Amino acid sequence: MAAGAETFSLREVLVAFTACVSEQREVRVDPYLAGWKGLVRFLNCLGTIFSFISKDAVTKIEIIENYRNSDQREKYLTVQSMVEYELANGLVDLQKRSEHPDSGCRTFLRLHRALHWLQMFLEGLRTGEDNSKTSVICSETYNASLANYHPWIIRKAAGVAFCALPTRNTFLETMNVGTAEEAVAMLGEALPYICEVYKITEELYAQHKLLDLP
């Protein structure tokens, strides 16, 4: 484990995702990005072999943060308002990346797909045997989700990086919430919130036929 792992707290990440859904069942962008930033911090602690993954995640987080810091920041308060605003103003490339290669909708979709992987990965960790291999949980859940959207070279590089993951119990203890059992209990509490964020976003994107944005 690389230096800096002590700065990661699973609790902070999970609190961010639990704060995502508003009373109107809208997905708030700021806590969503805060959750991803915490996860990237954790990924960076796992070693430089994961840098190509964290760099891509950071690029996408920054694209959306830039919208949140722009004059149109209010339009990007929730995923619902972002979709409405970008579609109404022709700001999304629907067929092919051209005039709006980094729309909020397209960029958010990449994180949304990664959230599906995260949901399955955390569930795999939570329910895995004490001595199960994190690398196996990670590659199985990746192959069942995100890998479907990645070219061969990325899938290959990801597969190599997964081999560097520590065992399940070391991994759980790195989350800084106490013992492996305590980390498992916290995952059990938080996963329904992550699932809810995923479900709401998936329904919204399906409703607007945005699930295949180039």
Ligand X SMILES: CCCCCCCC/C=C\CCCCCCCC(=O)N[C@@H](COP(=O)(O)O)[C@H](O)/C=C/CCCCCCCCCCCCC
Q: Is 177 near ligand X (CB under 6 A)?
A: no
Six-digit token pair at 185? 């209990």
Size of the site for ligand X (CB under 6 A): 23
Q: Is 40 near ligand X (CB under 6 A)?
A: yes
Q: What secondary structure does DSSP assign to 167-214, as a single string?
A: -HHHHHHTTSSSSHHHHHHHHHHHHHHHHHHHHHHHHHHHHTT-TT--
Site for ligand X in 68-97 (CB under 6 A): none
Q: What burial letters (b/e) apply to 12-31, b meaning 16+ CB within 10 Å?
A: ebbbbbbebbeeeebbbbbb
Q: Is 39 near ligand X (CB under 6 A)?
A: yes
Q: Cβ 74 to ligand X, closest distance in Å?
A: 26
Q: Is 114 near ligand X (CB under 6 A)?
A: yes
Answer for which of 33, 63, 79, 158 binds ligand X (CB under 6 A) is: 158
Q: In this structure, are residues 108 and 92 in contact, taking their beta carbons and an 8 Å threshold?
A: no
List contacts with ligand X (CB under 6 A): 10, 13, 39-40, 42-43, 52-53, 56-57, 110, 113-114, 117, 138, 142, 146, 149-150, 154, 158, 165, 175
